[in-house]
Amino acid sequence: MATQTQVKPDPQLQSRRGTFDVLQDWVTTVDHKKIGLMYIAYALIFLVVAGIEALLIRIQLAIPNNTFVSPQTFNRLFTMHGTTMVFFVGMPILFGFGNYLVPLMIGARDMAFPRLNAFSFWVSAFGGILLYCSYLSGFGLYGAGTAPDVGWFAYAPLTARVFSPGHSTDYWTLSILISGIGSIGTALNIVATALCMRCPGMKLGRMPLLVWLYLVTSGLVFVTISPLTAAQIMLCIDRYLGGHFFDTQAGGSAVLWMHFFWIFGHPEVYILVLPAFAFANEIIPVFSRKAIFGYPAMVSASVGIGFISLSVWAHHMFTVGMGPGPNAFFTFSTMVISVPTGIKIFNWLATLWGGNIHFTTSMKFAIAFLFQFLIAGLTGIMLSVSPFDWQLGNSYFVVAHFHYVLVGAILTMIFSAFYYWYPKMSGRMLSEKLGNWHFWLFVIGFHLTFDFMHIPGMLGMPRRIYTYEADRGWALLNQIVSSGAVFQAVATLIFVWNLVASYFKGEKAGPDPWDAWTLEWSTSSPPPSYNFATIPTVESRRPLWDRKHPEEPDELFE
Amino acid sequence: MFFSLQLIASRGLSPHADWLPASEWVRYAAQNLICLLALHFNQTGTSMFAPQATSSRSIFGLSMLVLSICAVIFLIVSSLLLYTLIRYRHRRGFTQREPAQIYGSTQVELSWTVIPILIVIVLFLATARVIFVTETAAKPSNALDVVVIGHQYWWEYRYPKLGVVTANELHIPVSDPTHPAPTYLTMSSADTDHSFWVPRLAGKMDVIPNKVNTMWIDPDKPGLYLGQCGQYCGTQHAKMLIRIYADSPTDFAAWIAQQRQTAAQNPAAANGRAVFESNACVNCHTVSGTSARGTFGPDLSHVASRATIASGAVPNTPQNLRAFIDDPAHFKPGALMPAMRLNARDLDAVTQYLTTLH
Amino acid sequence: MSTAVAIPRQPIEEWKLPSRGVVGMACLILAESAIFIIFVVAYLYYIGKSLTGPTPREVLELPIFSTICLLSSSITVHFAVHSLRTGHVSRCATWLAATILLGGIFIAATAKEWYELIYHYGLTLRTNLFGTTFYSLVGLHASHVIVGLIMLSLAFIFALAGKVTQAHAERLEVLSLYWHFVDAVWVVVFTVVYIVGR
């Protein structure tokens, strides 16, 4: 599989091309790097859109009995916000980074199935566009033909034809079904690439941790997205062919949908968080100037998290009335998953210990990730205690918890990844000055919003309510929460500006601006379409460390 | 404050009070902090930290243990993290090329695997105890049975053994801790998923179609306990409020007696009653002693005895009642009751009739 | 900056990695299995819960003949791959034809069974929970069989047109893995629907 031939760049390709040629190049490309960038750009657009939806939600909730938006509009806003963020921001951006980095990090020229890669991207993109077409449909009888308003988990029987006439639920179902096909395709590609395309010498035990984590993530995708696909097919059968899968009037079960959805839904959040761990595993060592502490433990913990995450789903259903046995079991399995997760946090801590920590913007975000993920994990432990969840489930405490993970851990680590790999992808450094503004505004806004959001939950505020009573004592807290959203919005705009401006005016990055150790830094920035002039051969986990420190290469100590 | 002191004194909620004295202090601190917060925000109305019944108290006790453990873990790990960041930050003039590369240590890995496992075991045992005690509690013979049916967007309450049907405001007897008289709620839904959540009395329990769930509540102080639907059920999920009145035994008996009577037949409201019975109202509502036998909407036999209408959304005043009947979207856009669009005279008459239904 | 080749300290053993096609198909099979498992779980969960209508015992007969055909087609496709690996393209085409024929018989038998159920017993997707879960599960499997038959037919046509060579043996093997998967799923569906469910 490995080729050792030299490839000379074609001079004809370097002549100026018209807009149409550029467009055609991007639309028909099968190059993993271009596809990765398209995933990332697509996700950023939806990040801004879903962020606006969040802002509208927060404006409506800032004062009790507000009339900024109607209840129908509000219900659409939170459904679209959740659905967009999970499926059309989280998944694409993480697959985008995976697409870009995995072949480079294992010394390959492309993914295992480049055409499948392109197909997966366009199918996913179509799904997202389909969802947003729902906004263009007309208003009608009770949600007919408009954006979905059933919540991102679309519990049955609210989604049955009788309770959701019109097509709002269908937009939800079909757009996710279609983009799910794309997700499975990408995951298949990542697994096949990581297992079959590694450069010589790169045994599995020498793969960068990022590749390991993407391998586990992709494995999860196969057994996770499929249950959702199955459940959505069942929902379509109910809605269009008169089936009774979730038809409680015909003896069907609403709880069955919940089981199927959460068998998808819980591992899904691990699909979203494992890539964040992947980034942390690469970024924290480089800016601590130390190898990652406990590589084998990190691999085992990641694989362990993957497996255990398949057994915890019904902790979303503690209040459904499953009985004490299942409640106790799922409490236990959820608590158990904290053990490998804790191992990872401690290993990162140990990596920092004794190091020489450089606080670049990327590292600042990674540090924020560590603190915030710690808190998120702890509130998760609180929620795993099912009696506690009987109070806090479906309240703003849960909303605060999962936003702590999604924004405080995942999005924060995504920002870190941007600052770290943008030089490689574009050849320019992002502005550290703008990055500083981005970081501090974002962290302040994040904590204003999501720290305080825990309290209304503990004071009895349920989620998914378009307004609340003035006498509940939630008003001041909601105002603080809403104010934080403004900071985060401004910070995100600064970030987007940084991305665009640095592309034209940023300081030129060389191939290796961070003095890092994995293979992607051994090629130019941006890499040529063939990635490496010669396929490398590796001797250890940090091939570039070996080259830079020939007197103490990793392989002697690993 | 007194409350948390009482809890500490009773020590009845900590299964490990005897052999973990240090955690006791932490728990004490946590309890006080939480009570401070609750008092500061001046709302014990729906706070889970102001429990007033057995179930919510045992949850509160367990939550204190959990919060304390998590607080300790957070303090230790974040302090370590902060220390590491400060001590090992890059300083200008740092001449050594790269720090010592440490690849791992089996002992250290083992220690931070084993200790979390032990914490998990402790936490799980404490939790399992509360789960089983709450969910397998034996039902005393003097328990009151109430059937709760969730609708989009109101609550139906039936007292099968007492022959009472009402809506949106639940009356139950106070339960003296020495002679407990809990209320057992048997719950199901007529349409989509709902959830019955009154934080000061118990955790929430989902109300699901084609499934029967049970829970029990035993408030030990008379008063009004607030809550609301805890599972997104459609457009007006936000306004599906719950009001539970815990009455003294005499008050409860009086309320039951009143509710069991047939609806009032005030001759002054005969005109309004005629309007009610000749319009579509009868298709959805029941008023005992009349031809109205509908079950899609709330039972209105004693609607004037309720403090609120529209499931707690607005106070029960003649103006609000009139506006609601004219067009429910005025208060609850998306509610399933259509705008009746009666002419002004009929509207006034019907409103007057309903205000006589005590 | 060019990539320097690291000087190996020990001689690199032969660097052998798994085949992309096999790994890719294994992933696809994993994902498809998960979908089938959910439909099987739904079927098992709803056994005996229908409020009305015909029950499985009343209307289902064991499809022995079609099952034998489908399971035999796994053997024939195995021989097709073996033939191609040893270079006998026309023999491979024959075995492919046998596979397609057996698979086609299976589909025809299923269609006949459904015709009976719909027009004779009045059991449709809408009738009751049994109808919904039965047609969904068996239909999902049948649709996978049809996709497999299409792919096998394409391979057969290419073989007849002389475009298939010994070098394509691995690709045919990947396709045969899919076909074996489809057969394995039928074993599960058969057990659940015709044995456990009745």
Q: Which of residues 395-424 of A touch B (CB under 8 A)?
A: 395
Least confident among A64-73, A385-394, B89-98, B258-267? B89-98
Q: Distance between CA atoms of A412 and A406, rounded to whole angstroms?
A: 8
Nearest-by-Cβ selection for C39 from A230, A263, A524: A230
Nearest chain A residue to B129 by CA: give it.
A328
Collapsing DSSP to helix, strand or coil, A311 comes out as helix
What are the tokens at C56?
């499985």
A432 and A424 in contact (C-beta within 8 Å)? no
Nearest-Cα distance to chain C for A426, in Å, is: 16
How would you classify the pairing of strands B183-189 and B144-151? parallel
Q: Structural domain of residue B61, as residue ranges?
A: 2-88+104-135
Position B324 in a domain = yes
| pLDDT > 50? residue C58 | yes
Task: Please report the pLDDT score of residue B16 as a whole number.
Answer: 40
Nearest-Cα distance to chain C for A473, in Å, is: 44
Collapsing DSSP to helix, strand or coil, B287 comes out as coil
* CA distances, B116 to each of A281, A339, A340, A375, B113 (Å): 22, 6, 9, 16, 6
Question: Shortest CA distance to A509 belongs to which of A437, A439, A417, A421?
Answer: A421
Tokens 């420190």 sit at which residue?
A549
Task: Please report the pLDDT score of residue A84 as a whole number.
Answer: 97
B40-45 contacts, C-beta under 8 A, 24 or more apart: B41/A455, B41/A459, B41/A473, B41/A476, B41/A477, B42/A473, B43/A459, B43/A471, B43/A472, B43/A473, B43/A474, B44/B200, B45/A460, B45/A471, B45/A472, B45/A473, B45/B200, B45/B226
Task: Please report the pLDDT score of residue A1 as a whole number.
Answer: 44
For A93, the enclosing helix (H) or strand (E) is helix A91-105
Task: Decide if A343 and B123 are in contact by the 8 Å CB cutoff.
Answer: no
| Helix A254-288, helix A209-241: angle, nearest 10 | 160
Tokens 């057995």 sit at which residue?
B54
Position B97 in a domain = no
Q: Could you write out the DSSP letters of every residue in A219-246? A: HHHHHHHHHHHHHHHHHHHHHHH---TT
Question: What are the backbone angles phi and psi of residue A423, rounded to the nearest 5°?
Answer: -55, -40
Position B228 in a domain = yes
Overall average pLDDT of the C90-105 stretch:
96
Nearest-by-Cβ selection for B135 from A324, A347, A371: A324
Position B309 in a domain = yes
Q: Distance between CA atoms of B222 and B200, rounded to whole angstroms?
A: 13
Task: Please report the pLDDT score of residue B160 as a whole number.
Answer: 95
Q: Distance between CA atoms of A548 and A351, rounded to whole angstroms?
A: 20
Mutation for A interface: B74, B84, B94, B187, most A CBs within 10 A: B84
Nearest-Cα distance to chain C for A533, in Å, is: 6
**Which residues does residue B13 pair with via DSSP β-bridges, in sequence order?**
none
B65 and B126 in contact (C-beta within 8 Å)? yes
Q: Distance between CA atoms of A303 and A277, rounded to whole angstroms?
A: 12
How would you classify the pairing of strands B169-173 and B183-189? unpaired
Return all residues near A434 (Cβ < 8 A) that are at least 6 apart. Answer: A494, A495, A497, A498, A501, A502
Q: Distance between CA atoms of C135 and C117, rounded to whole angstroms?
A: 10
pLDDT in tens, C130-141: 999 999 999 999
The last residue of one of the domains, among B96, B118, B135, is: B135
A248 and A157 in contact (C-beta within 8 Å)? yes
Q: What was the ipTM of the complex prediction?
A: 0.92
The residue type of A524 is S
Task: Decide if C129 and A250 are in contact by the 8 Å CB cutoff.
Answer: yes
pLDDT in tens, A445-474: 999 999 999 999 999 999 999 999 998 999
What letters, b where the CB count within 10 A reaches 16 and e where it falls short, cover C40-69? Answer: bbbbebbbebbeebbbbeebbeebeebbeb
Nearest chain A residue to B37 by CA: give it.
A455
Q: Please count the other Cβ atoms lying within 10 Å of the Cβ belonging to residue C12.
A: 12
Question: Shortest CA distance to A280 belongs to which of A194, A200, A210, A385?
Answer: A210
A482 and A59 in contact (C-beta within 8 Å)? yes
- Say which CATH number the domain at B330 has: 2.60.40.420
pTM for the whole structure: 0.92
Which chain A residues contact residue B128 at CB under 8 A?
Answer: 328, 331-332
- Whether omega for the bond prior to residue B157 falls within 30 degrees of 0, making it cis, is no
Q: What separation, in Å, do the N-terminal and C-terminal C-alpha atoms of chain A show?
A: 27
Position B349 in a domain = yes
Nearest-Cα distance to chain C for A526, in Å, is: 11
Domain C21-196 has CATH 3.40.50.2000: no
C4 vs C179: which has the higher pLDDT: C179
Confidence of residue A166 (pLDDT cuts 50, 70, 90): confident
Could you tell me if B229 and B306 lie in one domain?
no
Tokens 């010669």 sit at which residue?
A534
Q: Distance between CA atoms of A289 and A269, rounded to whole angstroms?
A: 30
Q: By the CB < 8 Å criterion, does A64 face chain B?
A: no
Could you tell me if B18 and B122 lie in one domain?
yes
B339 and B357 in contact (C-beta within 8 Å)? no
Q: Please count the other Cβ atoms lying within 10 Å of the Cβ belonging to residue B111.
A: 12
Could you tell me if B233 and B297 lie in one domain?
no
Task: Please report the pLDDT score of residue B234 as a whole number.
Answer: 93
Position B95 in a domain = no
Helix extents (H) in chain C: 20-45, 56-59, 64-85, 89-115, 129-160, 169-190
Q: By the CB < 8 Å criterion, does A514 face chain B?
A: no
Q: pLDDT tens digits for chain B (358 residues)?
A: 444 444 444 444 444 434 445 555 556 566 666 655 555 444 468 999 999 999 999 999 999 999 999 999 999 999 999 999 999 999 887 767 888 899 999 999 999 999 999 999 999 999 999 999 988 988 888 899 999 999 999 999 999 999 999 999 999 999 988 888 999 999 999 999 999 999 999 999 999 999 999 999 999 999 999 999 999 999 999 999 999 999 999 999 999 999 999 999 999 999 999 999 999 999 999 999 999 999 999 999 999 999 999 999 999 999 999 999 999 999 999 999 999 889 999 999 999 999 999 9
The last residue of one of the domains, among B244, B260, B276, is: B260
The last residue of one of the domains, among B199, B228, B260, is: B260
C65 and C106 in contact (C-beta within 8 Å)? no
Nearest chain B residue to A141 by CA: give it.
B334
C49 vs A554: which has the higher pLDDT: C49
Q: By the CB < 8 Å criterion, does B138 face chain A?
A: no
Position B123 in a domain = yes
B356 and B266 in contact (C-beta within 8 Å)? yes
Question: Shortest CA distance to B215 belongs to which of B302, B309, B145, B290?
Answer: B145
Task: Please report the pLDDT score of residue A167 as a whole number.
Answer: 84
Q: Please count the other Cβ atoms lying within 10 Å of the Cβ belonging to residue A515.
A: 14
Q: By the CB < 8 Å criterion, does A353 face chain B?
A: yes
- Number of CB pairs, chain A paired with chain C, less than 8 A apart: 142
Overall average pLDDT of the C157-178 stretch:
94
Instruction: Tell me the residue length of chain A.
Output: 558
pLDDT in tens, A423-443: 999 999 999 999 999 999 999
Q: Distance between CA atoms of B163 and B256, rounded to whole angstroms?
A: 9
What letters, b where the CB count within 10 A reaches 16 and e where it falls short, cover B295-310? Answer: eebbbbbbbbbbebbb
Overall average pLDDT of the C177-190 stretch:
97
Tokens 């697409």 sit at which residue?
A99
- DSSP class of residue A292 equals P
Nearest chain C residue to A190 by CA: give it.
C24
Nearest chain B residue to A372 by CA: give it.
B78
Could you tell me if B153 and B128 lie in one domain?
no
Q: Give me the domains of chain A, ranges plus CATH numbers.
A: 29-556 (1.20.210.10)
Question: Shortest CA distance to C151 belongs to which of C174, C132, C126, C128?
Answer: C174
Could you tell me if B194 and B278 lie in one domain?
no
| pLDDT > 90? residue A328 | yes
Q: What separation, in Å, do the N-terminal and C-terminal C-alpha atoms of chain B show?
A: 41
pLDDT in tens, A17-58: 788 999 999 999 999 999 999 999 999 999 999 999 999 999
Overall average pLDDT of the A132-139 stretch:
77
**Number of domains comprising chain B:** 3
Least confident among A482-486, A538-542, C14-18? C14-18
Q: Distance between CA atoms of A288 and A184, rounded to whole angstroms?
A: 35
Q: Distance between CA atoms of A441 and A489, rounded to whole angstroms?
A: 9
Which chain B residues contact residue A73 at CB under 8 A?
Answer: none
Could you tell me if B250 and B272 lie in one domain?
no
A306 and A219 in contact (C-beta within 8 Å)? yes
Could you tell me if B252 and B157 lie in one domain?
yes
What are the tokens at A476?
């001041």
Could you tell me if B242 and B277 lie in one domain?
no
Break chain C into its structural domains and give their ranges: 21-196
Sign of the Cα pseudo-torsion (A436, A442, A445, A448, in order): negative
Task: Please report the pLDDT score of residue B6 as a whole number.
Answer: 44
pLDDT in tens, A245-265: 999 999 999 999 999 999 999
Q: By the CB < 8 Å criterion, does B105 face chain A?
A: yes
